[in-house]
Structure 1
Amino acid sequence: MTSTRREDIIAFQFSSWYPIFSSLSIKSTILPLDNDFKLYLEADGVFVPTGSEDLPPNSTLSLEECDAHQDSDDEATSRYAFPQLDAQVRAVIREYHAVFPKLNFPHQRHDAAWLLPSTSPLKCTSPADVYLLLKSSDFITHDLSADLVFEGCVDNDDAPGTLEYRLELVLRKWFAIDRSREMRAFVRDGVLLGISQRDMNYYEFLNEPEMQKKIVSSFSAYWAAHIKSKWTGPASYTFDVLLTRDLTRFHIIDFNPYAPRTDALLFTYNELAAFPTATPPTLRVIDSHAHPAVTRNAPEHQHNMVPLEALALSQGRNVEEFAAAWADHVRRGTAESDDESEE
């Protein structure tokens, strides 16, 4: 793999490629973020800025607990308010009905998706939803620092003003994605080498020989016609797509570097390096429920998953105070459940 320059990295920034491929991608809006919002994302604690909530949160906390939580959060939230950004986000939500957010660069999966309803993960209908999802994610720290974004680049010692990096909020129109049709493609030196299933679960229809032949043929033709000549970044890259229902076309989700920082999924980069360049691309899918890559229903980022009420009760309390408050909360919930079952 060749050495990476900062301009190569910037090519994978959403605002770099989306204007070129917007007709093939999910409808999206890019909003610039100022340093105050960056400070909010970097601040300790999980809270939403003043004025960003459209409706009271759907919580099982009692009124007394909500009041106590609000008192402990007042000092933090009062320092952060983004009325202009709130208005912009609300305008986009009105247009798209719901959005899912990201910052400048792609992330493999959103580790904070569990904060929103499991029936519609990443579906945001208010600025508070957007901010909470970003604030609760560990992955976005990469995008907050230019040093991390350009880490390892061969031209990092050049004059810093030659390539300005600005934080951006990307709001993409939300819709329910059929994960069985998500694919990642690998291009080396302008040649499409491989296509991998992204969701690590077994799907029977993907293992039908005629279906696989159709995917490889249609995918290759569509890439050659609509991406190959228009891509302006490095000659080696990967890109994520959602196949259409008839599997003949695709919608672009993101572009990623052709490098170990991007998961090779069902391939390895050593395998890809050995692939011949004069044959059709190789399609890899999960071929059985026993495949070692199958997720076996284990939730992603489960180390981050705690109840929203626990996050609320933890604000402004030390470990002992939180333990007592949580035990009391559980007792109340159990008592209420018993009362309801007796009615």
Structure 2
Amino acid sequence: MTQQYTTLSEIPLSKSSVEHASFSYWYKLFQKHIPTSRIISPLPDEFIQYLEQDGIKLPVEKNSSSYYTDKIQRNEDNEYSDWDNSDDEENTRKYKQPIDPLTHFPELHQRIKDIIDEIGPVTPKLNWSAPRDATWILPNNNMKCNEVNEIYLLLNASNYIAYDLEHAFDDCIDKDQITPTKPSYELVLRQWFNINPALEFRIFVKNQRVIGVSQRDLNYYDYLEALSDTFKDTIDEFIEDEVILLYPEQDFVIDLYIPRPFKKAFIIDINTFSRSTDPLMFSWNELVTMDLDIDNERDYELRLVKRNNVARFASKEHSENQVPKDVVDASLDPNVIKELASKWKELLSQQEADTDSDSDSAEE
């Protein structure tokens, strides 16, 4: 009889479990099943401070031209860029200057550029998370980065990255034994390739057994249901023959990409079996209480968005992290901030005027 659980807290999450979910750990185990990647480690402290600081400061290099550098340069050259900056000057005196990539970590900056020159467009991530929640900040609305400034934008705008930096070990049962020093962070740059989001699946493994599989992209694809058995055969074979033999954890969550003709799987990510990992079409209560008796012949479920449940999963992924495009532009252009502030004051004034008018009408 295998170990049974009734709550997620009963499944021990240790520091080593989190470390084993770090990209550099499982990359060396399964490299042949992972798209071309480059790992930069260790990262300078200044880079981590750059990601943690408020605001987004992008570098402007001499003799370089891009959408971002040109926009920043126009802002710097604009005679109105210092509007009402008394508070900014006071903050500058009170706090140290913002970290700038060209000044504080030029070697890392150049290394990132060299990797892009070597393998082409890339997608970034830190040890555990990719900034999937921040794709709204780029014009292409995905994680394809053709230049270094796009990488900086994604990493700075992502709540997932912020979580990695501040809370990676929060749920560990041995967190009190973890030294207060920062973990060794790494920047992963994976070669970009077009992925069909319909063919990515999240597999939940407990006690080294697959207990459930969820469609990763929560949109309806009419052809998936007919392929369920094919996907499960490929998943079962890959997990049993490749992953469980090498990965040391009993409980984990793994994301696989299964392209046509659906006979081969690629590893996209490995996560801890914990509440910090999105259960997608399951709930954590379901996952932790599933009966895993070896003699139980019940097959696990591969859950798909179907025509009759599409409304339940209709909300756009990461939409809670998105902001209007005007706000994104404002983060790069002080003049846009001024314009937004002016419009906001006008709206407030108009609202007050309307309120006063309504009050006068009521008195009459």
Q: Distance in 1 between matches of 2:25 and 2:63?
A: 31
2:78 alignment partner AA: A
8 Å CA contact 1:69–1:313 kept in 2: the answer is no
1:229 aligns with 2:245: yes
Q: Distance in 2 between matches of 1:69 and 1:194?
A: 59
Among candidates 44, 47, 52, match of residue 42 of structure 1 = 52
1:4 aligns with 2:13: yes
- 1:2 Cα deviation from its structure 2 partner: 2.4
1:127 alignment partner AA: V
Q: Which residue of 2 aligns with 1:98?
A: 121
Q: Distance in 1 between matches of 2:252 and 2:173?
A: 18
Among candidates 171, 192, 197, match of residue 152 of structure 1 = 171
2:109 alignment partner AA: D
8 Å CA contact 2:208–2:250 kept in 1: the answer is yes
SS of match in other structure, 1:241: strand
1:112 aligns with 2:134: yes
Q: Which residue of 2 aligns with 1:310?
A: 330
Per-residue deviation, residues 183-222 of structure 1 (Å, max 9, x unmatched): 00010001111111011111111122xx111111121112
Q: Which residue of 2 aligns with 1:56?
A: 66
- 1:292 Cα deviation from its structure 2 partner: 3.7
- 1:102 Cα deviation from its structure 2 partner: 0.8
Q: Distance in 2 between matches of 1:52 and 1:215?
A: 51
SS of match in other structure, 2:211: strand
Q: Which residue of 2 aligns with 1:134?
A: 155
Among candidates 103, 109, 112, match of residue 86 of structure 1 = 109
Question: Which of the pair is proportionally richer in helix?
Answer: 2
Q: Which residue of 2 aligns with 1:331?
A: none
CA RMSD, 1 decimal? 3.3
Decide whether aligned partners of structure 1 residues 305 and 228 sit closer, same or farther in structure 2, where only a CA change above 3 A counts. farther
Q: Distance in 2 between matches of 1:166 and 1:238?
A: 22
Q: Distance in 1 between matches of 2:316 and 2:274?
A: 28
8 Å CA contact 1:61–1:309 kept in 2: the answer is no
1:38 alignment partner AA: I
1:89 alignment partner AA: I
SS of match in other structure, 1:223: helix
Q: How many residue pairs align between the two structures?
A: 317
- 5+ residue gaps, structure 1: 328-343
Q: Which residue of 1 aligns with 2:362?
A: none
Decide whether aligned partners of structure 1 residues 110 and 52 sit closer, same or farther in structure 2, where only a CA change above 3 A counts. farther
- 5+ residue gaps, structure 2: 1-9, 83-87, 346-364
**Paired residues for 1:172-183 under 5 Å:** 172-183=190-201
Q: Distance in 2 between matches of 1:47 and 1:222?
A: 43
Q: Distance in 1 between matches of 2:339 and 2:143?
A: 32
- 1:41 Cα deviation from its structure 2 partner: 1.1
Identity of aligned residues (%): 27
Q: Distance in 2 between matches of 1:197 and 1:299?
A: 16
Q: Give the TM-score, by structure 2 length.
A: 0.77
SS of match in other structure, 1:111: helix
Q: Distance in 2 between matches of 1:69 and 1:137?
A: 32
Among candidates 302, 305, 313, match of residue 294 of structure 1 = 313
Q: Give the TM-score, by structure 1 length.
A: 0.81
2:144 alignment partner AA: K
Q: Distance in 2 between matches of 1:117 and 1:15?
A: 30
